[in-house]
Every structure is written in C-alpha cells, then in structure tokens.
Chains A and B, each alone.
Chain A
Amino acid sequence: MLFAHGFGCDQNMWRYITPAFEKDYRLILFDYVGAGKSDITSYNPERYSTLQGYAQDVLDICETLNLKDIIFVGHSVSSMIGLLAAIEKPQLFKSMIMVGPSPCYINEDGYSGGFEKSDIEGLLETMDKNYIGWANFLAPQIMKNDDRPELGQELTESFCSTDPKIANQFARATFFSDNRNDLSKLQTPALILQCSDDLIAPLAVGDYLHEKLPQSTLNVMKAKGHCPHMSEPEETIKLIQEYLPETA
C-alpha cells in the first residue's frame, strides 16, 4: 500500500490509519518534495508547477522500490496525483483509494467545484500571512510539549512542515488543477471516500467523480470535514478494509 499525503501536511497524517494495515501489507509512506522531511534541494519549480511532476514522484518511487500490485491511498489532491500515475502505468496499480478527492476545485462552465478563483487567492493570502517570520508555525517545530513529554522527541522533528514558497506553489498546482478530462482514462478500480460535509470536496463533486470514473465505488462517510483519516480513523479504516478483497 502506497500512502500519499495531501496538501498542507506530510506523511504523519496517516499515522492513525497505517497500524490497521501493517500486518497484511507492505506499507510505503513518503513526503512530497518540499513537505515533511524531504530534501528541499531536490525541489524543481518547473517540475512541480503542475500535478504531473508530483505524479512523476509517485512513479519514481514505484520504480525505485520495484513496487507492483499497488493499492494507492491518496488524500485530497493526491487522489488526482495517483490518478495521473495510474493512467500512465496502469500495470503497476491494483486499486485506488481516494480520500476526499476532487478533479477540479474551481466552478466552471456548468461544473460546480465549490470555489471561485478569488477564494483561492484568499487562501494564498491567508497562507502568506501565516508564513511571515514570527508566525512561521509550519516551519520545523522546536517546541516543548509540557503535558505530554513522551511526545517531545517526535515533535522536535519536522511536523507538517512545508517550505512557504513550495507550499504556495503546491497550493496553486492543487487548486488550479483540472483533471476532469483524465477521469475516463483510469483503468484501475477506485474507491471514493466522500465525507458528508466537506467544503473542499463537496457531495456533488463525489457524485461527478463516481459518474466519470469507469470502475468506481462511491462511499459517503459519516465523517465530516476534509480529513476523515484524522477525524474518524475507525470509519476510514473500516471502509478501506471492506473495499479491499483481501481484508473484506
């Protein structure tokens, strides 16, 4: 199982999900370049100006580790990154688990993605403000954790840290992406985990995906928000297990 984190975080976000699968599967977790503990010097603004460069990261990982029969678990934008990778190398992928996916975030000619361009500009502005020196909370954390000292060691390491410039470009690549025309090309079966009240991937988007993805199963979760793997890990695990024939 290959777990790909979404925009705004790093591989740590899977920590409530992975223990349920580590017995039955080989688990691969990674940080995209610019997130988590990745090597920032490998960042190439050209490569990562579109989701295609991120999809290449996924394929590079598959090739380097010689992965086969991959169950790809992608959160948010990583669902589409996984889609691009699986369209290019269908022979590597067995199934796709898409957590809160959306093929296009901006409303456009009859399609309702949930956002206007100005909303995304507003997000970029909010991110900018939180990245100014004194509020650099997404930079590597060196903070004490007074009430839970056992977590201290971990928290001195990078946590959900993202380089501000890279985060800005990732936000642009994410929210201005449009993969609607790629959906019909997917040959791999896909599970869409749709949250019941998700601002970033609304119900209508889940229905749209289900209609356009050839072999898809849509599951509307009880979980609300955009991060069911963090807010409702048990439900998320149960639905993934029910979908995978090995654990069903």
Chain B
Amino acid sequence: MKISTRQIKTATILDVSGNIDMSNSMEVRKALLNEIRIQKATRVVVNLSAVNYIDSSGVASLVEGLKASRDLGSRLVLFGLNDSPRELFKISHLLKLFEIYDDETQAMASLAPSV
C-alpha cells in the first residue's frame, strides 16, 4: 500500500494505492490525521480509485479522519470507490456518512466554490 500527497489549490489530495487491511491501516490513519491535525488542511480529498480492498480497520481510519475533520471544521471527501470498498461502506451504513464522488473531477467540483 502506498500513500502520496499532492496539492491542488487549497485542496490536499491523498492518493492511496494497494489494499488497506489490518497490516497497514495505521498508515492511512497517520497520513490522514497528519494532514488534518498537523498540516491543518481545510480540504482533504482521498483518492481510493487504486484501492481494491479495504477492511474494517481501514474504514475505521477513514471514520477517524472524518471525525477529526468535523472537529476542526474542515472537509474530508472520498472518490473512486471500487466494488469491494463500496460494498463495505454500504453494509457498514457509511455511504451517507461520507461525501463520496465517482472521480476526481466531481470531487474537486464539490469543493469548487471554496477551493
């Protein structure tokens, strides 16, 4: 699993690739919380289009990131959920909890008024 970060205007995009499970979900958590709490990013976009599998610990990391962003008044947006991650979000009743978009264009457009 790899995580890289890039900046588009005021949005920070985390590109995640590989599978997220118990062995590496802490890296996702650490990267997310670093951007939200340490870097004080106000708009964090997580690109999951190269993630084919995510388990409950990976989802927990994203939920923790979401809670942190809400606490600090920032936004956390996801895009590019493949079948397995989307199914997991669905059975965990998380599809409505997160802002989820199909692709980066849509995700960035959702931030457009403020980016």
**Does A pair with B?**
no
